[in-house]
Amino acid sequence: MKISHFLVVAMLLLVWAALPTEAQKAAPTQPAASGVQVLKMVLCQNVKDYEPQQELTTAKVGDVIVGWTKIQAPAGTKITHRWIHEGKTASDIPLKAPGRTWSRKTIHEAGNWKLQVLDADGNVLKEISFTASS
């Protein structure tokens, strides 16, 4: 009886140890072949002193949303913020990296939205999804 309890506890510990930690879940993306890495990406209401203010997870039609990214990359690297509504590209905003950079989008339609960060080759490095209501 004691051995079976020991085995159950040991198995639970193994499963628990294999679960990702919060730090692992929030870890930055791996660098793309181009050497570009998205260290942090958020949606927010505004940017002050190069930092995001009032982070958002939802929006309403008429809101102006800021997509803020912190990018590690070789000097002079070009990235794109792609705003997508219901699976169709609403706008592509070319930006320079490395560092902290952002783009703004006025939400004109309700529905499912995404903001993607693309490298110069068009590879999606990271994305955030959100829903806009009327």
Cα 54 to Cα 45, 47, 66, 106: the distances in Å are 6, 9, 10, 16
pLDDT over threshold 70, residue 128 = yes
* Assigned CATH class of 27-133: mainly beta
- Per DSSP, the chain holds a count of helices (H) and strands (E) of 2, 9
pLDDT tens sequence across 70-119: 999 999 999 999 999 999 999 999 999 999 999 999 999 999 999 999 99
Instruction: List the structure tokens of 75.
Output: 């000097």
Q: Strand 64-72 to strand 99-106: parallel, antiparallel, or no bridges (unpaired)?
A: antiparallel
pLDDT tens sequence across 18-64: 444 433 334 455 566 678 999 999 999 999 999 999 999 999 999 99
CB 94 within 8 A of CB 11: no
Cα separation, 59 vs 54, whole angstroms: 12
Q: Per-domain residue ranges for the chain?
A: 27-133
